[in-house]
Amino acid sequence: DAGITQSPRHKVTETGTPVTLRCHQTENHRYMYWYRQDPGHGLRLIHYSYGVKDTDKGEVSDGYSVSRSKTEDFLLTLESATSSQTSVYFCAISERGLGAFFGQGTRLTVV
């Protein structure tokens, strides 16, 4: 299994609070991604990174920001959490873009 760890695995937070999710990899892969998975929508790309300090928006980036200061860490921040951001968040890594390896997910509930 690819070395990819997400933290926390579960989180409940209140509307309006900032939240940061962490993804850590030990594979030295260039590409890292954040997806969210919702019933009826499948997985949708939030942001991705193609190197240290190199990031770009995905399909559903509004309300989210990311940072990658080291190859191994990719942080996703919900600037002011809303109920619509209740979801399961997955981090993924890939090298050469030919197949991704996913973390176990973070279940986030915004109340």
Partner 1 sequence: TQLLEQSPQFLSIQEGENLTVYCNSSSVFSSLQWYRQEPGEGPVLLVTVVTGGEVKKLKRLTFQFGDARKDSSLHITAAQPGDTGLYLCAGDLSSNTGKLIFGQGTTLQVKP
Report the residue number, 75 or 88, with the smaller CB distance to partner 1. Answer: 88
If binding is defined by CB under 8 A, does position 42 make contact with partner 1? yes
Name residue, tokens 């109340």.
Answer: 111
DSSP string, 17-85: --EEEEEEESS--SEEEEEEEETTTEEEEEEEEEETTEEEE-TT-TTEEEEEEETTEEEEEESS--GGG
Of 25, 55, 85, 94, the one binding partner 1 by CB under 8 A: 94
Of 23, 25, 48, 64, the one binding partner 1 by CB under 8 A: 48
Name residue, tokens 């509004």.
Answer: 62
If binding is defined by CB under 8 A, does position 74 make contact with partner 1? no
Interface residues toward partner 1, by CB under 8 A? 31, 33, 35, 40-45, 48, 50, 58-59, 90, 92, 94, 96-105
